[in-house]
Amino acid sequence: MNDASANEFLIVALARMIEGCRHVAVGNASPVPGAAALLARALSGDAMLVSLLGSLAHNPYTDGGRELFDSAGQGRLDAFFLGGGEIDGQANVNLVAVGPHDAPLARFPGSFGSAYLYFAVPRVILFRAEHTRRVLVPRVSFISAPGTSPPGIHRSGGPTALVTSRCAFAFDRARGRFRLETLHPGHTAEEVRAETGFDYDSAPEVAQTPPPSARALELIRGRVAGELAETYPSFAAREWGRAA
């Protein structure tokens, strides 16, 4: 492993998952996915189009807030990142609350566009750094967006992967289950099993998540950091000492 920070490692892991996409969008309050999209664009030789919510410089949309969703409905959006206050083993995502809705134990900001984009975008990458039984639960207490849909429900998209600070899972839509794909350096399959609240499949030998290349790190710390600082000044300052 090289000298990548934890966030840099995740940025590269996420960027790898959207390789080859024509158009990738990133939602609200998502600096790591935002950096991943900007990195993937840089690595693509600018063949990839990136739409960063809240950005002026890195956002092609000119038809207002609905255009992200409209373009997804048109099939013009290949990949999107989604977080979750809770995520369960069927890839259901909870962005609303834990406990009863009118007196919750925990309250999250809200569902944002998840209930729509999870259906419309072919490749939705779930990302949550915190990998604990508090977040990765057997069953979410509120489904902001369901991981799978029964036959007969119009659905052209859905989850393909889940990346945390410990590992990367792939999601099998037909089986409705995650499979542990790779472990980040320093983490073990046993640890992941212990810290995950839901059941999942796993190969007997789980590979390591590849480390960032020198080229990727150079791009992140140069171009990507500068681009990201427009929308995420605090993150860019903390991570790389970069101002917008």
Residues 73-102 that bind another protein (CB under 8 A): 73-76, 95-97, 101-102
Number of residues in contact with another protein under rule CB under 8 A: 72
- What is the C-alpha separation between 4 and 103, in angstroms, rounded? 42
Sign of CA dihedral 90, 93, 97, 101: negative
> Could you tell me the CA-to-CA distances from 46 to 19, 38, 49, 117 in Å, in that order?
12, 9, 7, 24
Quick note: the x/- pattern for another protein over 107-146, rule CB under 8 A, is xxxxxxxxxxxxxx---------------------xxxxx
CB of 170 to another protein, least distance (A): 22
Q: Which of residues 168-227 bind another protein (CB under 8 A)?
A: 222-223, 226-227
Amino acid at 25: A
Toward another protein, which CB reaches closer, 124 or 168?
124
Toward another protein, which CB reaches closer, 112 or 209?
112
Toward another protein, which CB reaches closer, 31 or 159?
31
> Could you tell me the CA-to-CA distances from 90 to 17, 104, 139, 204, 232 in Å, in that order?
20, 23, 8, 22, 31
Instruction: Check binding of 240 to another protein (CB under 8 A).
Output: no
Q: Which of residues 150-169 bind another protein (CB under 8 A)?
A: 150, 152-155
- The answer to whether 111 touches 96, Cβ cutoff 8 Å, is yes
Instruction: Check binding of 69 to another protein (CB under 8 A).
Output: yes
DSSP assigned state of 152: T
